[in-house]
């Protein structure tokens, strides 16, 4: 069944639509659809577009409403027919670095408008009247290139900068470009992947698409369009005139000075909106870019109210800043009403539409459907209570519809399965599959449509065009790049500071070195291919480490001391492992039908990591060894589902389950989640914490003893001595490190007798995972759920208007706000400030000096939505999951560390809503360079899972401390995380008797240039990568693959780099052929095979091989070793090519004795 079929439920809908669609296109018509549910409004707009294929603008009052409308219309019409034009409130866009995702969405919409592609454009009040450059100028801003076009490379680069593109080392994100030799890679915002433009002199030779992951080119294309990144566009030749016009009208102030700098350097173009009249006098609002569109206004009255508030704020701001603005720059809705062909006003109730002369009014008699928010029980009660009503309950596919059928059967609710609307009667419950339905209700009570969007919101995974401009989540763990200024650890020389790559000339050859500074300004040069001897220094504190001296033995002594300490830890860890392996656990049966059914109830799609973790846990439970697994993953990445499936398996096998969490807030959240999922299977889930009345606690304790309570979820209360289980099978521990010493001891004693599953959100560093392999089973969940949207992060000076606006916006969508300042003494002042700014807001307050119970009480009130704003310190950094809080305001964000900022920002963005983080700094205070870097970094890392890159520093330390004991962090600080873990690994292997003696590595000194020119690749990180890849060459195929990759990615390779590759291959061949020594002078190259290799070589055949390859080699035999001599000047190219060919053939043909 199609969603449009629902219009046939009532003849009135089809009649009204028919009249609207066939209206004569004369003067503007104003039509009012009153008593129109919001979903019906979108359904009508979709139907109109489907029939007429003409551009429709769908207007809502706020960005939040627009975001929701966009998602729904996407679902109804498909991703290629709907565009999004979200415009932030004026104050935000003026003061704040605005949301990149929203800007990209707007630019894609403009792209469709300029190319005259019919779309449904969803926007908010500010969007409809937003001023834009004229269509001709926007068209001119689109770059078009074809193969064989004559274009100067520097002109193309300048054109990209003018259009807002940012130069980077590797082009992997929208709106960036990189330059390497004859190649320019660019990721146009109107394309799904980057493009590689290859030049031959001043002519475009080829244009190819690039695979983002491999950075290799894929298919050839003949032309490319590159759309600008910003709505503002001007040529370099216009800059001086623009500046003159600004200065003529405005006095030079700090604000004007910054604007002029931005104009000069094409920076922060999004903050130049107010200066558009100085750039062009032909600007016009969005609606006038489209010739006579159809406009749908969802709740026009709210749009007008919103506009009033916005206009007041703008005038206040203009007075405050003494900014001058063109008189007609800010346009009101009533001024653009007659720029459309047809205005359709929809509202849920009958409103008087002031300033609008209506031509037609149709009451549709519909209501918004009640939102059950995952409370299926409440929906079932409603269905039973209204037996005379007609209900259509839908799901997205047959499998999910079966779940509804089973639920209805279990609750004795009769239903009919139908394929068409015509099969519905006056009353009864009807079930159908409709992929993209949204609910609404008939006002006269004739029928109601309930869809998963009402009874299970957030559990339906939608393909969102958002993903086009809100980058998809990435894996968390990233090897951190080495940047000049970073502290590094050399295993032999200690802690130094990396200064970058330096090229030095030795005996007529150029070589690239990593330059590291040590104490007393002494430096160490390390060949780039040996980068493995360095590790990036990671310590637990923000303070900088002390540089070691190259002339002192202090480093070696310190390393030896810590090596001894790691031996003690290794012994402890191995003892624990031995105890684990000797224990025999309960063997669980493989999955029953009920288990499979329970897992099918999960309405999200499991992420690959989640699936893997679930399989690993089950495999452990079905084996004879006890389960002892650590599940590590960011909050909200799906650890609880893994725990629930393990709990169901335990209960299904007749065992009891205890779930231990550190706070009452968390226990309550888990209890509600478990109860909802387990209830229909007759599993009894109970909660034990201080909020549970004593009388009820007694019943629960009795139930645990007698076995009729299956799962208990609680705080340390369940560790009390009065708690006795009949048959406890599984203990689930959430964030074990947050329990006190006494509780940890109790947990240890329970652990030894049952299966244990531990959950943590603290990242476990890679190196520690290696050390733990075999000592503790570890599952990592690194992928974010599909429907998560990145957090829109803004960095700005503290500003009351923005604070008021942010809180208003969040309250407007029934959400909540965290307001953080890490100064307890000033929190009361913040409370009164927020009260003054938003008098309607209900405000809570928590900080670390409050009693633990008091903090938890406040959090419970916040969770129960009794507060709109929670004023707090960094106490909210961990373990708080409040999906309804989606705005975070941090005052003096510059005083917080990077990982702290990342962790705190993770408190929002826990649902499928757009979330906002405002990082504010004090305007009167000069912020340090480091603080600026931190704030910039957090702003850049809006992708999900990017946290590891920036938060690794102390989170990794914390993760290690939690597992190895906190006293270890002192040792980690002394020698750095990676070296510490390496020593620990060695100690574990030594203790197990697995430590192998390091074989003697033969080294051959071949004199060639090991240098990657800067004009070939300018970025140090990529140059290091090239050196590392070349150093790993072990075959001719590898050389050919690298030549292909580098030619594709960076352009034609120089003879020096080709020889460098050949030399690395030669080193491998010398080693694998048994060459024990190699000497090179200007006149002679001599090498000899070791005794073993020599004894196997047939002297006659080796001579024949050299003749066959036209090589003038001389052979000798001394001390049972074959010696080969050659003159390096005998060949026109380097002798290395001939020698590799000789050694390759040595392996391939039978030169060895039989």
User: Among residues of the chain, what percentage have pLDDT more than 70?
Assistant: 87
| Helix axis angle, 11-21 to 38-52, nearest 10° | 50
pLDDT at 84: 94
pLDDT at 1066: 94
CA distance 465 to 83: 9
CB 290 within 8 A of CB 280: no
Tell me whether the CATH fold assigned to 143-226 matches the one assigned to 390-456: no
Give the chain's mean pLDDT. 84
pLDDT at 145: 95
> Is 183 a residue whose pLDDT tops 80?
yes
Handedness of CA 909, 911, 912, 914 (dihedral sign): negative
> Is 472 a residue whose pLDDT tops 50?
no
Q: Where exactly are the structural domains of the chain?
A: 29-136+277-366, 143-226, 390-456, 583-761, 792-943, 1020-1148
pLDDT at 540: 57
- For 626-682, the pLDDT digits (tens) are 888 888 887 778 889 999 999 999 999 999 999 999 888 888 889 988 998 998 899
pLDDT at 110: 92
Q: Give the pairing of strands 755-760 and 628-633.
A: parallel
pLDDT at 927: 60
Q: What angle do CA 320, 325, 331 make, to 5 degrees?
A: 110
> Is 460 a residue whose pLDDT tops 70?
no
Cα-flanking dihedrals φ and ψ of residue 490, to 5°?
Answer: -100, 130
- Top-confidence residue, 881 or 47: 47
> What DSSP designation does 1097 have?
B
Q: Give the pairing of strands 284-285 and 131-132.
A: antiparallel
Q: Which residues contact 1075 (CB under 8 A, 6 or more apart)?
A: 1002, 1004, 1087, 1088, 1089, 1090, 1093
Instruction: Lowest mean pLDDT of 47-61, 69-83, 469-483, 722-736, name the range.
Output: 469-483
Residues 363-374: what's their mean pLDDT?
84
- For 571-630, the pLDDT digits (tens) are 877 777 777 678 888 999 999 989 998 998 887 788 889 999 999 999 999 998 888 888
CB 292 within 8 A of CB 340: yes
- For the domain 583-761, what is the CATH superfamily, name and number? P-loop containing nucleotide triphosphate hydrolases (3.40.50.300)
DSSP 3-state of 510? strand
CATH code of the region 1020-1148:
3.90.1150.50
| Helix axis angle, 852-863 to 664-678, nearest 10° | 40
> Is 257 a residue whose pLDDT tops 60?
yes
CATH class of 390-456: alpha beta
> Is 1099 a residue whose pLDDT tops 60?
yes
Cα-flanking dihedrals φ and ψ of residue 1077, to 5°?
Answer: -150, 150
pLDDT at 678: 92
pLDDT at 513: 93
Query: Furthest-apart CA pair in the chain: how many Å?
Result: 110
pLDDT at 920: 86
Q: What angle do CA 676, 679, 682 make, to 5 degrees?
A: 165
Q: Which residues contact 565 (CB under 8 A, 6 or more apart)?
A: 971
Residues 389-405: what's their mean pLDDT?
87
Q: Which residues contact 64 (CB under 8 A, 6 or more apart)?
A: 809, 812, 813, 913, 914
pLDDT at 225: 92
Per the DSSP assignment, residues forming a β-bridge with 641 are: none
> Is 43 a residue whose pLDDT tops 90?
yes
CB 732 within 8 A of CB 647: yes
pLDDT at 46: 93
Helices (H), 660-790: 664-678, 694-706, 741-751, 766-772
Q: Which two tokens stand for residue 130?
A: 């937003």
Nearest partner of 808 among 126, 64, 93, 97, judged by Cα? 64
Per the DSSP assignment, residues forming a β-bridge with 391 are: 429, 448
Helices (H), 763-816: 766-772, 800-812
Q: How far is CA 566 from CA 763, 985, 990, 992, in A?
A: 21, 9, 11, 14
Nearest partner of 88 among 57, 62, 109, 122, judged by Cα? 62
CA distance 526 to 533: 9
Q: Give the pairing of strands 440-442 and 366-368.
A: antiparallel
Residues 781-809: what's their mean pLDDT?
78
Nearest partner of 1029 among 1061, 1007, 1052, judged by Cα? 1061
State the CATH architecture for 792-943. 3-Layer(aba) Sandwich (3.40)
Protein fold of 29-136+277-366? Rossmann fold (3.40.50)
| Confidence band, pLDDT 50/70/90 cuts, at residue 478 | very low
Q: Give the pairing of strands 816-820 and 869-872.
A: parallel
Q: Which two tokens stand for residue 224?
A: 């490319």
Q: Give the pairing of strands 183-186 and 523-527.
A: unpaired
Q: Which residues contact 326 (CB under 8 A, 6 or more apart)?
A: 277
pLDDT at 945: 42
CA distance 538 to 975: 9
CA distance 121 to 34: 22
First to last CA, the chain: 77
Q: How far is CA 473 from CA 467, 570, 1117, 1135, in A?
A: 9, 36, 63, 50
Residues 1134-1154: what's their mean pLDDT?
78
143-226 maps to CATH 3.40.50.720: no
CB 689 within 8 A of CB 662: no
Q: Which residues contact 187 (CB under 8 A, 6 or more apart)?
A: 171, 172, 173, 174, 175, 176, 177, 193, 194, 195
- For 838-897, the pLDDT digits (tens) are 888 999 999 888 887 888 888 888 988 899 999 999 877 666 778 889 899 999 887 877
CA distance 10 to 7: 6
CB 509 within 8 A of CB 517: no
CA distance 226 to 179: 16
The alpha-carbon radius of gyration of the chain (Å, integer) is: 34
CA distance 1029 to 50: 54
CA distance 303 to 297: 8
- Top-confidence residue, 856 or 1034: 1034
Residue in this structure with the two tokens 């391939």, named with its chain if needed = 1148
pTM of this prediction? 0.71
pLDDT at 968: 59
Q: Give the pairing of strands 294-298 and 342-346.
A: parallel
Backbone torsion region of residue 188, taken as left when φ is above 0, otherwise alpha when ψ lies between -120 and 50, otherwise beta: beta
pLDDT at 1012: 92
């Amino acid at each position: 069944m199609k969603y449009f079929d629902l219009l046939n439920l009532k003849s009135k809908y089809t009649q009204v639509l028919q009249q609207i669609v066939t209206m004569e296109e004369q003067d503007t018509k104003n039509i009012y659809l009153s008593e129109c549910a919001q979903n019906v409004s979108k359904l009508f707009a979709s139907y109109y577009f489907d029939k007429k294929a003409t551009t429709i603008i769908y207007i809502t009052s706020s960005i939040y409403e627009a975001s929701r409308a966009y998602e729904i219309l996407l679902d109804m019409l498909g991703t290629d027919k709907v565009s999004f034009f979200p415009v932030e409130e004026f104050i935000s866009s003026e003061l704040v670095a605005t949301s990149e995702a929203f800007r990209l969405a707007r630019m894609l919409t403009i792209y469709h408008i300029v190319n005259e592609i019919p779309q449904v454009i969803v926007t908010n009040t500010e969007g409809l009247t937003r001023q834009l450059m004229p269509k001709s100028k926007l068209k001119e801003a689109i770059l078009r290139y074809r193969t064989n076009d004559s274009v100067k490379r520097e002109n193309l680069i300048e054109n990209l900068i003018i259009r807002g593109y940012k130069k980077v080392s590797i082009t992997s994100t929208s709106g960036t470009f990189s330059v390497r030799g004859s190649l320019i890679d660019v990721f146009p915002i109107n394309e799904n992947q980057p493009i590689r433009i290859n030049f031959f002199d001043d002519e475009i030779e080829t244009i190819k698409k690039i695979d983002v992951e491999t950075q290799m080119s894929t298919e050839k294309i003949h032309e490319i369009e590159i759309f600008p990144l910003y709505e503002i566009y001007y040529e370099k030749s216009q800059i001086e005139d623009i500046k003159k016009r600004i200065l003529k009208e405005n006095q030079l102030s700090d604000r004007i000075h910054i604007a002029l700098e931005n104009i000069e350097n094409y920076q922060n173009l999004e903050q130049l909106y107010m200066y558009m009249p100085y750039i062009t006098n032909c600007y016009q609002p969005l609606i006038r870019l489209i010739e006579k569109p159809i406009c749908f206004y969802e709740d026009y009255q709210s749009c007008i109210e919103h506009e009033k508030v916005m206009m007041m704020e703008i005038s206040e701001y203009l007075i405050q800043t003494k900014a001058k603005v063109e008189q007609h720059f800010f346009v009101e809705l009533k001024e653009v009403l007659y720029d459309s062909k047809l205005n359709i006003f929809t509202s849920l109730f009958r409103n008087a539409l002031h300033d609008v002369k209506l031509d037609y009014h149709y009451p549709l008699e519909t209501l918004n459907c009640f939102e059950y928010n995952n409370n299926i029980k409440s929906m079932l009660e409603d269905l039973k209570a209204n037996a005379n009503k007609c209900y259509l309950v839908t799901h997205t596919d047959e499998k999910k519809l079966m779940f509804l059928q089973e639920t209805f059967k279990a609750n004795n609710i009769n239903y009919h399965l139908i394929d068409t609307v015509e099969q519905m009667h006056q009353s009864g419950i009807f079930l159908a599959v409709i992929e993209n339905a949204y609910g609404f209700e008939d006002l006269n009570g004739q029928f109601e449509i309930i869809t998963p969007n009402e009874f299970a919101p957030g559990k339906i995974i939608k393909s969102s065009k958002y993903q086009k401009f809100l980058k998809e989540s990435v894996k968390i763990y990233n090897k951190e790049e080495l940047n000049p200024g970073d502290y590094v650890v050399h295993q032999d020389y200690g802690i130094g500071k990396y200064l970058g790559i330096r090229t030095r000339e030795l005996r007529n050859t150029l070589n690239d070195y990593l330059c590291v500074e040590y104490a007393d300004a002494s430096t160490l040069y390390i060949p780039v291919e040996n980068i493995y001897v360095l590790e990036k220094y990671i310590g637990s504190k923000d303070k900088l480490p002390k540089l070691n001296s190259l002339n002192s033995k202090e480093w070696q002594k310190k390393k030896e001391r810590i090596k001894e300490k790691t031996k003690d830890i290794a012994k402890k860890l191995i003892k624990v492992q031995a105890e684990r392996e000797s224990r025999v656990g309960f063997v669980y049966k493989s999955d029953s039908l009920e288990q499979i059914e329970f897992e099918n109830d999960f309405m999200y799609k499991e992420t690959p990591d989640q699936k893997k973790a679930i399989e690993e846990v089950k495999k452990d439970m079905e084996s004879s060894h006890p389960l002892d697994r650590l599940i590590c993953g960011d909050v909200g990445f799906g650890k609880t589902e893994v725990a629930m499936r393990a709990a169901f398996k335990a209960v299904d096998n007749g065992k009891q389950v205890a779930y231990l969490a550190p706070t009452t807030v968390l226990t309550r959240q888990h209890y509600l989640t478990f109860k909802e999922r387990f209830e229909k299977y007759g599993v009894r889930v109970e909660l034990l914490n201080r909020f549970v009345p004593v009388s009820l606690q007694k019943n629960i304790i009795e139930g645990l003893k007698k076995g009729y309570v299956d799962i208990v979820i609680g705080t340390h209360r369940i560790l009390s001595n009065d708690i006795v289980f009949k048959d406890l099978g599984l203990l689930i521990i959430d964030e074990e490190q947050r329990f006190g010493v006494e509780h940890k001891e109790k947990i240890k004693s329970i652990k030894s007798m049952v299966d244990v599953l531990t959950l943590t959100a603290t990242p476990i560093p890679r190196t520690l995972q290696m050390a733990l392999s075999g000592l503790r089973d570890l599952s990592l969940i690194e992928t974010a759920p599909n429907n998560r949207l990145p957090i829109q992060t803004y960095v700005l000076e503290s500003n009351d208007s923005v604070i008021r606006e942010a809180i208003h916006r969040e309250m407007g969508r029934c959400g909540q706000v965290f307001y953080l300042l890490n100064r307890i003494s000033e929190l009361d002042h913040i409370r009164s400030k927020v009260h003054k700014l938003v008098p309607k807001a209900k405000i809570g307050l928590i900080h670390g000096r409050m009693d633990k119970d008091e903090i938890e009480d406040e959090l419970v009130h916040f969770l129960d939505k009794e507060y709109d704003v929670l004023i707090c310190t960094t106490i909210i950094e961990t373990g708080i999951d409040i999906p309804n809080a989606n705005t975070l305001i941090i005052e003096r964000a510059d005083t917080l560390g990077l990982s702290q900022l990342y962790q705190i920002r993770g408190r929002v963005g826990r649902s499928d809503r757009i979330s906002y983080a405002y990082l504010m700094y004090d305007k009167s205070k000069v912020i340090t360079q480091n603080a600026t870097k931190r704030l910039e970094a957090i702003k850049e890392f809006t992708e999900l899972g990017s946290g590891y890159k920036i938060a690794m520093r102390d989170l990794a330390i914390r993760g290690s401390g939690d597992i190895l004991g906190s006293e270890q962090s002192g040792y980690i600080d002394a020698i750095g995380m990676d070296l510490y873990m390496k020593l620990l690994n060695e100690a574990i292997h030594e203790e197990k008797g697995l430590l192998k003696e390091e074989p003697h590595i033969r080294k051959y000194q071949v004199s060639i240039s090991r240098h990657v020119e800067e004009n070939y690749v300018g970025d140090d990180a990529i140059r290091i990568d090239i050196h590392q890849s070349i150093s790993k060459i072990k075959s001719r195929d590898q050389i050919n693959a690298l030549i292909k990759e580098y030619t594709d990615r960076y352009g034609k390779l120089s003879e020096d780099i080709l020889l460098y590759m050949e030399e690395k291959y030669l080193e491998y061949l010398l080693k694998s052929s048994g060459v024990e020594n190699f000497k090179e002078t200007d006149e002679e190259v001599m090498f000899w095979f070791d005794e073993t290799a020599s004894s196997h070589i047939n002297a006659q055949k080796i001579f024949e091989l050299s003749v066959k390859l036209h090589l003038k080699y001389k052979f000798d035999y001394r001390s049972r070793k074959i010696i080969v001599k050659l003159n390096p000047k005998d060949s026109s190219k380097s002798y290395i090519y001939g020698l590799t060919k000789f050694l390759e053939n040595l392996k391939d043909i039978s030169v060895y004795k039989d």
